[in-house]
Amino acid sequence: MNVSYRKLFEILKKKDISKSQLKEILDLSSATLAKLSKNEQVSMATLIAICNYLNCQPGDIMELEHEIDKDTLLYRLKEEKKAKLKGSIYHQTQIKLAYNSNHIEGSRLTEDQTRYIYETNTIGLEKEPASIDDIMETINHFQCFDYMIDCANNTLDEEFIKTTHKILKTNTSDSRLPWFNVGEYKSRRNMVADRQTSPPGKVKKEMDKLLNEYLGKQNISFDDILDFHVKFERIHPFQDGNGRTGRIIMFKECLKYNIVPFIIEDNLKMFYYRGLKEWDNEKGYLRDTCLTAQDRYKKLLDYFEIKYENWLNNHFNWNKLIWEAGIPASFLLQKNKIVRSV
């Protein structure tokens, strides 16, 4: 197991205490502070001193994390991110997720331009001029994905959600608006098409409720992740960037619970929107759209010879689904897999 001091730094942030201040107050050595920052083991005396100062228990400042199974997608993504491996599953996912998620929200960059920015860290424009915001949000999305991989095994919380949004919108024209609140919940009302969203004064309360309900589930399923996404988008907690933030969250939670993640490609956009809108009446619209996207991502996993669980039978209540759908002819269940007929 590995140790993580993420909780410690969250407490310090809330109390507005910097690392250097903690070092000075407790007379910690630079080496000890570096170990804390790198999630390396420190002495029990150091932990006791920190707990006494913050008036908390060891479990409040540290947690043990299971080592990542080397056969999982998350392990490969972390390994290839560290190595900056070109042509890898990490490389391909960065480009495809950034291009499609931004394109859904109106970015005019092509997939080739997105690839060029990622691979060369330069801007290659041949004919039409590109929006500076489209370019910045593409670069920011690459950083969001890296942050998400680093945090994939962590419990989903407000800090992750707000930090993801802050990374996504930093240095955009929106970030220069004094009321936009990059990395913070919205200050002005907004709408999704003709649908009303939560008013600014209620966002914090509704987000806390959503997180508590989600984290209170014993076994997170594929449908639970989709349900969180729908409710998150209906709250629409940020002034802008909610869709991209929400899709990063879904990818993270799939990695955490060893569910094959997925990328909503542009040609699935309208089905995705319909699924979000009709979730309360018919969950199958969004579910099947995301399963289709998942099937496409599985082809990448197969190509890169990355194993994944045939987890569908464990993550769905098949009897309930079949009953709801009236035993659909479009699904043929076979042992350990699901095959869509055409």
d(CA 123, CA 109): 11
What is the radius of gyration, based on Cα positions, of the chain? 22
pLDDT at 338: 40
Residue 46: how many CA atoms within 13 Å on its side-chain side? Answer: 20
State whether residue 26 is helix, strand or coil: helix
Beta-carbon contacts of 163 under 8 Å, excluding residues fewer than 6 positions away, are: 147, 183
Mean pLDDT of the chain: 89
CB 262 within 8 Å of CB 297 = yes
d(CA 77, CA 255): 10
- With 0.75 as the threshold, say if the pTM is over it: yes
d(CA 336, CA 50): 50
Choose between 320 and 155: higher pLDDT: 155
pLDDT at 336: 37
Percentage of residues in the chain having pLDDT higher than 90: 75
The tens digit of pLDDT for each residue in 135-156 reads 999 999 999 999 999 999 999 9
d(CA 109, CA 121): 15
- Joined together, the tokens standing for residue 267 give 């040609």
CB 109 within 8 Å of CB 99 = yes
Residue 269's identity, in one-letter code, is K
pLDDT band at 312 (very low <50, low <70, confident <90, very high): low
β-bridge partners, 196: 191
- Joined together, the tokens standing for residue 254 give 């799939």
pLDDT band at 332 (very low <50, low <70, confident <90, very high): very low
The CATH architecture annotation of domain 73-309 reads Orthogonal Bundle (1.10)
Residue-wise DSSP of 53-82: HHT--HHHH-EEEPPPPTTSHHHHHHHHHH
**Residue from 170, 141, 215, 160 nearest 9 by CA:** 160
Residue 46's identity, in one-letter code, is T
Domain boundaries, the chain: 2-65, 73-309, 317-342
pLDDT band at 340 (very low <50, low <70, confident <90, very high): very low
| Class of CATH domain 2-65 | mainly alpha
Q: Is the pLDDT of residue 161 over 90?
A: yes
Choose between 323 and 114: higher pLDDT: 114
State whether residue 3 is helix, strand or coil: strand
β-bridge partners, 191: 196
CB 149 within 8 Å of CB 74 = yes
